[in-house]
A and B are shown apart, each in its own frame.
Chain A
């Protein structure tokens, strides 16, 4: 289902039509979930954020500009909430607990298949090791296929900053990839 087809349903859902809600959820939830899961690793946090994204979707629908692609708006909300969450997480006093969690987080965040994939997929493991600021650019650029200008717009930072982060991320990936999996990597 494309954006244009989805919009009337979304509007109905915001007015309280539950079947419209189901339809919107079905059409969007994998995308939202994956976007969040690429950027946040704790399973509980991922679910909290996905839930928040939907709340925000209903509440802010009146602010949506129909001239812009729906997905861009949706990803904007998602990224915004992830960053919100990161800020809050930063302030959390549960720092100690968090540190403890982080040590087992790598195995905790999703199911076994992912772990297996991670072992098979060196590049993915490297992406996950990038800092958030670099990773978000990589995800938006290569998973969602946004132009650097659109990413700048979404992250509300200058295009130059996006360019340099993009560049830095690729450099880092290349460097590590060459060292670790150089044989199969042809540039």
Chain B
């Protein structure tokens, strides 16, 4: 008898003597029922999950584009300039400028630009009264110096923003 045939016969013979224990049926059945319950329970859950994902997909981009109002990073909110004679429209103009800057500058440049602009705007807010009039004398000598420095530091950025804006 060839070994192939012998192996086949032997395994068949052995298999016939191996019986799945009957109590295993109960266990597999319980698992099955668990699966069925899970499946039934899952379908409304699935819908909710889907709705959640859809909502997140819609919200995330709008949050990414709308929420970090660039001007908010500098002023906190439009209230800061409205107290000093500015309007919501002015705020939008500033926002527009910042958005342009963001588009024209590299990421690192823009970071630096925002930092400097923020400092400059803080000083400007300080010298501007409720009617929008400027009083340089409100600043200390040191602050006046800083004000000028900021102006010159920002100049190359402005050139870059405006230069490429008008090719």
Contact = CB atoms under 8 A, between A and B. Distances in A.
Given A123-B10, A187-B3, A33 B24 contact: yes
Interface in B1-56: 1-4, 6-8, 10-15, 17-21, 24-25, 27-29, 31-33, 35-36, 39-40
B60 to A, nearest CB: 30
Interface string A9-53: 000010010100100010001101110011000000001001100
Interface residues of A, number: 39
A33 B13 contact: no
Contacts, number: 87
Contact of A143 (B12, B35, B36): B12
A47 B11 contact: no
B14 A30 contact: no
Interface residues of B, number: 30
Given A25-B28, A55-B31, A143-B11, A50 B20 contact: yes
A123 B7 contact: yes
A113 interface: yes
A174 B31 contact: no
A64 interface: no
A144 B97 CA distance: 75
A30 B1 contact: no
A108 to B, nearest CB: 14
Q: SS class of chain A's interface: helix, strand, loop or mixed?
A: helix
* Best-surrounded residue of B15, B28, B31 (most CB of chain A within 10 A): B28
A102 interface: no
23 contacts: A25-B29, A29-B20, A29-B24, A29-B25, A30-B19, A30-B20, A32-B20, A33-B20, A34-B20, A51-B24, A51-B27, A54-B28, A58-B32, A59-B35, A110-B18, A117-B13, A121-B13, A121-B14, A123-B6, A138-B7, A142-B4, A143-B15, A170-B3
Given A117-B14, A142-B7, A177-B3, 14 more contacts: A18-B36, A25-B25, A25-B29, A29-B25, A34-B20, A50-B24, A51-B31, A121-B13, A121-B14, A123-B7, A138-B7, A142-B4, A142-B11, A187-B2
